[in-house]
Homo-oligomer: A and B are copies of this chain.
Amino acid sequence: MYIIEKNDKKPLCLQLYQELKNDIIKNYKIGEKIPSIRKIASTYNLSKNTVERAYSQLVVEGYIDSYPKSGYIVTDTKYSDFNTDFSKGKEEKELKEDTLYDFFPARLAKDSFPLKLWKRLFTKVIDDTLDFGMYQKGQGELGLRKQVSQYLIKSRGVKCNSTQIIICNGFADSMGLLAKLLKNSNETLATEFPGYHIARKVFDSHSYKIENIPLLKDGIDLEVLKKSKSRLVYITPSHQYPTGVAMPISKRMKLLEWAKNTNSFIIEDDYDSELNYINRPIPSLQGLDNNNRVIYAGTFSKSLSPAIRVSYLVLPPSILEKFNNFYETRASRVCLTTQKVLEKFIEDGHWDKHLRKIRTKNKKKHNLMKSLLKEKIGNTMKIESQGAGLSIIINPTKQFDWLKLEKLTQKEKIKLYYAKERSGDKWQGLMMGFGGFKEEEIEKAINIFSQLWNKCIIE
C-alpha cells in the first residue's frame, strides 16, 4: 500500500514515484510486472496523467521499462549499495580568527579598499547593456584591457597594447595559464632561489621540473642560468621576493641578451611595484626588451584587493598566438561585474588616486614599524629588506632561538611569517607585514613582538 498524502505540498506524482521506487527496490524481482497505470490511478484515486508522469520518471531513471502488450517490467533490482541513509557528518563552523596580531606580509588594511566608491560604480556600470546570458571573451573585457595597458605604458614603462593583455583570476591563475601555454616547448622552469614559493608550486603542479638558480646581490646568478638547459625563467626583478633587491640595468640587459640568444622566455613578476616608498618604481624589464622575450605579470592584489581576484599578463606575440588557439579563450577568467567596475575605476582616475593614497598610508606604516623595530630591538636586529611592498624583513644579529620564537608567538596569538617557508629553505628572515594593520595597531603589535623577540636572543 502506497502512502499518498493529498494534502501534502509535495506533488502527487512525486510522492507516487518515490513510493513506487522504494517498492521496486525492496519487493520486486527483475522481469516482474508492476501494476498498470490504470490500476494505480483507480486504486489511489489519481489522475491517469499523474501516474503516467511517475512511471515516465521511473523509465527515464531505468527502474522499469515498458514493453508493448506486457506493460511495465522491472529491469533490475540489484541495488545492494543503494543509499537510503545519509548522515551529513559534521558541518563546518565559521572559525573566528583567533589571532591578536597577524603580520601577514601581503595583507592590506580593511579600510584601504574603496568600498563605497566600488558600490557606487557597480550601480552605475552594471546595466542591461551587458549580456549575462553569454560566455565572455577569455582574454577579458576589451575596456578593462585598454585601461590596464594604458596604465602599464604610463607607469611601468611596459610596451604593450590591449590585444596583448590577458585578464586573469589572480597570480596563481596567471602562472597556471602560462604553464599550460608553454608546456609543449618547456619542461623546466628556472627560478630565483630563494624566490616566490607559489610560482614554483604552480609550475610544479603542471609537471614542470623546477631548477633553483642561486640569487646574488644583484639578482639571479646569470652564469648559473646560462649553464642550465632551461629556456624559461621566473624572476621578480624590481623587488626580489623575498630579499627585496632590484636587478640593475646592466644585468637586465645581459639577461635580455641571454633570452634573445637562446630563444628563452623571461617571466617578469612585477607583483608590488606600485608600492615603493623611497624611490620611484623601477621601470619594467619588459620595456627594455626589443625581442619579445619577456612575459610581464602584474596583479591588483597587493594594492587594491586580493579578494576581487584580478591579475593580468602581457604576452609577447608568439605566446599570444598560442593563447588565441587555446580552449581557454571560450570563457573569461574573471566575472563580468568585477571587470566592468574595475575598468570604470581606472578610467575615471580613481586607480591613480587610490595608488597615491595607499602609497602614502603604507609609507607611514612602513616608517612607523621601521622606527619602532629600531627603537625596541635595534641592537639585536638588522633590516634585510625595506622601503617597498607590504613588509619589512628582519634578522637577528645575535644567536637566536627561532623555535622559541615560534612557540612564544603562538602562545600569545601573534602570527609571524618566515621567509624560509615562503621562498625555499636557504634564506632566513622574518617578514614583518605592516599593510594589514591600522597605524595605531602597529605600536601595540611591535611592543608585544619585541618582548617575545628579546626572550629568544641567546646571550
Task: Mark A residues whose CB is within 8 Å of B.
Answer: 14, 17, 53, 56-57, 60-63, 75-76, 78-79, 81-83, 86, 88-92, 94, 106-113, 115, 118-119, 122-123, 126-128, 130-136, 142, 145-146, 153, 159-163, 169-170, 172-173, 176, 180, 183, 197-198, 201-202, 205-207, 218, 246-253, 256-257, 260, 278-280, 282-283, 287-291, 301, 305-310, 326-328, 330-338, 435-436
Contact = CB atoms under 8 A, between A and B. Distances in A.
Given A62-B218, A115-B126, A56 B278 contact: yes
Q: Which 6 A-B pairs have the closest CB atoms?
A: A62-B248, A76-B250, A113-B132, A108-B133, A307-B336, A132-B305
A301 B136 CA distance: 11
A356 to B, nearest CB: 13
7 contacts: A81-B290, A91-B161, A106-B135, A113-B132, A132-B308, A136-B307, A176-B176
A89 B163 CA distance: 10
A248 B61 CA distance: 5
B115 A128 contact: yes
A172 B331 contact: yes
Contacts of A246: 60-62
Interface SS of chain A = loop
Nearest to A330: B198
Given A205-B183, A248-B75, A332-B309, A92 B162 contact: yes
A89 B113 CA distance: 35
A75 B251 CA distance: 11
Nearest to A93: B142
Given A172-B331, A336-B308, A257 B134 contact: no
A249 to B, nearest CB: 4
B119 A133 contact: no
Contacts of A81: 253, 256-257, 260, 288-291
Contact of A250 (B57, B78, B162): B78
B338 A335 contact: yes
A115 B132 contact: yes
Contact of A335 (B180, B205, B207, B308): B308
A169 B333 contact: yes
B280 A57 contact: yes
Contacts of A331: 170, 172, 301, 306, 309
